[in-house]
Structures are given as structure tokens and as C-alpha cells.
A and B are shown apart, each in its own frame.
Chain A
């Protein structure tokens, strides 16, 4: 019935929404970055973990506990009427990786926020996106006193695939956040084109 004509997203009336993930270790500034570029106050939504969480959460002896909630921050940027970008801050805890899987489906790309004082915190995110061939950029959040490392140093330390952009940013700054997103969309476009060419040859 009503669902029939919901399949078209590119029609004249069809609105298009694109999804960008913001990942990285706990406290690296994911929510800050989302808030800096979002036109709406970052909204918080909760996902209930039930079946999926059971294998991870030890609920032994806590019979009443049936669900766990995990919060996700998100923001929105309207490019024009009918074309919006949605930004999702991924949950900081590694054990919610299965939630990322769903978040990542159909994502345009991801920003992996890194702090050079604890670079290892972003390893899981880098692995995740590399394995799924999701375009991502590494944005080094320049905390004061975090020491000046060049983008090449970070790229080498993270053993990134050649071409994966590394940019320096200030997650609190709107202009800086915009630049990060622009470099991601440009990179996603390049990856997309490269794959098209691969499939032809």
C-alpha cells in the first residue's frame, strides 16, 4: 500500500539523507565535533540492546535486567531542501561494535577522531572501517599540549592505507569541523570513482 512508492529516493519529491559516522576513543571529542558543525543541538537517541547484548553482557544473577541502553549523539546539516547530512557519534565503548555495524550500513564515510596522546584508542575504529572498505579520514584533534605531530607521523603510526587522508583539526571549531567533512566527502568521491573504474577494467 503506502510502502509501494517509498522505494524511490531520487524522485522529484524524494528527499535524500546521507550518513557520516564520527568514531574514535572515549573522550576524544566526538560529541564536540558533532555539536560544532550541526545546525541542530546534538540530539541523543538511545538504542536498546537486548538479544545482541546478551552474549556480551554478563547478566548472571541479575534476572531483572533485560535490556541495556546505549546512547548515540547525532546532528544534522541541511545542504538544501531535500538533501541533508546526518552525523552520528558512535558509542565509545568497544563492546558495542555490533551497533556500529548497523550504523555503518549505507554510510557515506567516517571521521576517525584521534588524540596523539593516546593514539591507540582509535585503532579499533581504523580497523573497523578498513575492513569494511568504508571511506574514512583521520582527524587529529589538536588538544593543547598534545605535542606537535605531523600528519605523516600519524599516518605512519596508524599504518594507514596509502591515500587515507589525515587532517589536523580543532573539534570545537565549526570551520575546522567543516574542513574535516569536506575532505571526507572529497575522499569518498575519489574512492567511489576508483571502484567504478576497477569494476570496468
Chain B
């Protein structure tokens, strides 16, 4: 009972008594309010779905419904369009968590997400030739 008051001293930010090996102190899905799937639309973002800031998006600063992790994702997209995988690595969050948070941002109109190429429709030959030429030029 009384342990709590002593075990959480007021440490200056950045001084971490745990290391990476200890794993996250917060259960990952606590950041999503326990949700493991994105909002009502139920979209499952592919790892290479591209996320951009929505032009004319509402001001993220004034939105109390956004948590710090939401804001981190918005900041990452501010510099350039990012894939879901890059966002997960950049925010140091599991992909599953990032998907839920992105669902929120999409519904609130902060971001746009482009769908990945569906399996049945590979890019046309022109694109493939462009890729080959691009690889040769590397």
C-alpha cells in the first residue's frame, strides 16, 4: 500500500532506471485504451500503406482526445509521407498499436492513408520497368 508512494520518486525526465531488456513499462495496448483493432471502419492498414498529413487537418494541439502517441505519429508524418512500418519504427511502438492509433487519426481527419496495391493488381509494366531502371541507376 505505502510502497507506491516511495517506489515512484520524482525522477527528472530521461533518467530511466530500467533498460531496454526490461521491456515496456506500459502494456502496449494501454496506449489505445485497450483497443486492438482500429475504429468502427475496421480498416487494417498494410505495413506499406502510406500515411500523409491531411491538408487542412484540424489543429492537433487543441485536440484533447489525442494522446502523446497520436502526436508523435503526427510529428513523424509532418516531415514526409511515411509507411506504417516506418511509423512503428520511428515511434518505437508495435505495429498493432500504431494501426489503432492511425485509425483514430484517420477518423478525426488528421491523416490520409493510401491503400497498398491489392494482390490481384500488380503495378503495370511501365512501373516495373521504372523500378528496374531505378535499381540499375542506384
Question: Do chains A and B interact in one complex?
Answer: yes
Quick check: which of B9-17, B68-76, B85-93 contacts chain A, the rest being far away? B85-93
CA distance A48 to B31 in the complex (A): 14
Chain B neighbourhood of A66, CB < 8 A:
27
Quick check: which of A2-10, A25-33, A145-153, A154-162 contacts chain B, the rest being far away? A2-10
CB-CB contacts below 8 Å: B90-138 with A: 90, 94-97, 106-107, 109-119, 122-123, 125, 127-132, 134-136, 138
A3-B112, A15-B50, A79-B130 known; A189+B125 contact, CB < 8 A: yes
Chain A neighbourhood of B48, CB < 8 A:
17-19, 86, 106
A46 to chain B, nearest CB (A): 5
A77 at the interface (CB under 8 A from B): yes
User: Contact between A18 and B117 (Cβ–Cβ < 8 Å)?
Assistant: yes
User: Contact between A48 and B94 (Cβ–Cβ < 8 Å)?
Assistant: yes
Q: Which residue of A17, A37, A46, A106 contacts B88 across the interface (Cβ within 8 Å)?
A: A46
User: Contact between B89 and A45 (Cβ–Cβ < 8 Å)?
Assistant: yes
Q: Mark A122-142, 1 if CB is under 8 A from B, else 0.
A: 000000000000000000000
A34 at the interface (CB under 8 A from B): no
Query: B residues touching A (Cβ–Cβ < 8 Å)?
Result: 27-29, 36, 41, 43, 46-50, 52, 54, 81, 83, 85-86, 88-90, 94-97, 106-107, 109-119, 122-123, 125, 127-132, 134-136, 138
